[in-house]
């Protein structure tokens, strides 16, 4: 049986409760209502030693308005929308510009900076948020839900759902950063990554997709076979120059059937820990922590540096509302948005 405990923290918005889900082996996940986020994931290495493998902050209040969006649920639309231009049913909605010339992660007051309502339902922690019509200039009142479940075999299951009272767009994901050697162990560039993705989305220099689904073969974007993250990260390649490393979306092979697919397999040769990511989403954004320098103090006072962790964000494609050839992220009142991400931890 999964044990769920709570702990109170003082924040600028008052006392908030964090939730810890622990299985029989002692492996655990801690969740915060700030951004409906993951703040700790403690799992064993090949010798059974437990370590926290999720980047996070010593002070819970630092999760408000942090640049990295560590562990949280960005929204209403995760990732970028070009120039903040959103057209729904022929009407233009100008979103806030908060990332170069573009809108990012739902805007400066997006879902990741909100305190979500929380409840425990059996062995599941459920966060919910009502985003009113006009919130960050998105149309329609959207009610979003994120449900977390932790298993005895160290699988974190995240279920997303949303409904709306007017046509809108929605794109939800988890923005955790992983270092399988331990959150405070330094660079993650020696981690080995494999992606179930033979195509990727080339972008402009402001990281907006061009609309092309390009083959990865023969490029530094090819992770179809296991490869150290740092092997090609300094290659002379536009995408790597634009983002100062990997900050790109890959097309998950087979996503068109809407089923659950393995998107990524991350492993740390030193500890033996592995993380398989499964999803029914069409894309996976891989971000190698290229701008972690200067983020809030980490757990235990640790100072994070660029490339100390990698985010693997399963989601709809960036700028899909402006790219009709991409899978639609539109949601209408007679529909329900439902998406699933599994983080499966193991060892080799």
Express each pLDDT in 195-233 by its tens digit.
Answer: 999 999 999 999 999 999 999 999 999 999 999 999 999
pLDDT surpassing 90 at residue 11: no
pLDDT digits 0-9 by tens, 148-203? 999 999 999 999 999 999 999 999 999 999 999 999 999 999 999 999 999 999 99
- Which of these, 340, 348, 23, 278, lies nearest to 153 by C-alpha position? 23
pLDDT in tens, 18-66: 999 999 999 999 999 999 999 999 999 999 999 999 999 999 999 999 9
Res 194: pLDDT: 99
Domain 3-347 fold is Beta-galactosidase; Chain A, domain 5 (2.70.98)
Q: Which token pair is 139?
A: 């149309």
Q: Count the alpha carbons within 13 Å of 290 in the hemisphere toward its beta carbon.
A: 17
Q: pLDDT averaged over the chain?
A: 97
In the block, tokens 């402009």 appear at 204
pLDDT for 285 beyond 90: yes
Annotate 151-188 with DSSP letters as a single string. Answer: -TTSEEEEEEEEEESS-EE-B-----EE-TT-TTS---
CA distance 234 to 250: 19
Is 175 an active-site residue?
yes
- What does the alpha-carbon distance between residue 234 and residue 306 come to, in Å, rounded to a whole number? 14
Q: At CA 244, angle to CA 242 and CA 245, rounded to 5?
A: 105
Provide the whole-model pTM.
Answer: 0.98
Rounded to whole angstroms, the Cα distance separating 229 from 237 reads 15
Of these residues, 93, 175, 183, 261, which one is catalytic? Answer: 175
């Amino acid at each position: 049986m999964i044990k769920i405990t709570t702990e109170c923290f003082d924040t600028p918005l008052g006392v908030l409760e964090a939730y810890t889900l622990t299985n029989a082996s002692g492996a655990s996940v801690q969740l915060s209502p700030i951004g409906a986020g993951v703040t700790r994931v403690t799992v064993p290495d090949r010798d059974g030693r437990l370590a926290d493998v999720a980047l996070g902050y010593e002070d819970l209040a630092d999760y408000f308005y942090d640049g990295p969006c560590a562990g949280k649920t960005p929204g209403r639309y995760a990732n970028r929308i070009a120039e903040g231009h959103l057209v729904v049913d022929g009407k233009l909605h100008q979103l806030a510009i908060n990332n170069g010339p573009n809108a990012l992660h739902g805007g400066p007051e997006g879902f990741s900076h909100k305190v979500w309502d929380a409840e425990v339902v059996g062995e599941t922690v459920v966060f919910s948020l009502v985003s009113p019509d006009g919130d960050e200039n998105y149309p329609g009142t959207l009610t979003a839900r994120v449900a977390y479940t932790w298993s005895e075999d160290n699988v974190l299951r995240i279920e997303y759902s949303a409904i709306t009272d007017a046509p809108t767009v929605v794109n939800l994901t988890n923005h955790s950063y992983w270092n399988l050697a331990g959150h405070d162990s330094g660079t993650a560039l020696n981690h080995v990554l494999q992606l179930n993705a033979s195509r990727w989305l080339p972008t402009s220099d402001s990281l907006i997709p061009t609309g092309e689904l390009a083959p990865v073969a023969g490029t530094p974007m090819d992770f179809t076979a296991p490869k150290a993250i740092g092997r090609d990260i300094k290659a002379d390649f536009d995408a790597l120059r634009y983002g100062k490393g990997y900050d790109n979306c890959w097309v998950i092979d087979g996503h068109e059937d809407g089923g659950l697919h393995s998107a990524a397999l991350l492993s740390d040769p030193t500890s033996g820990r592995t993380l398989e990511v499964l999803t029914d989403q069409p894309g996976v954004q891989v971000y190698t922590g290229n701008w972690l320098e200067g983020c809030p103090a980490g757990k235990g006072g640790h100072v994070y540096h660029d490339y100390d962790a990698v985010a693997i964000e399963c989601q709809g494609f960036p700028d899909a509302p402006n790219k009709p050839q991409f899978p639609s992220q539109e949601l209408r009142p007679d529909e329900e948005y439902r998406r699933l991400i599994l983080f499966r931890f193991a060892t080799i």
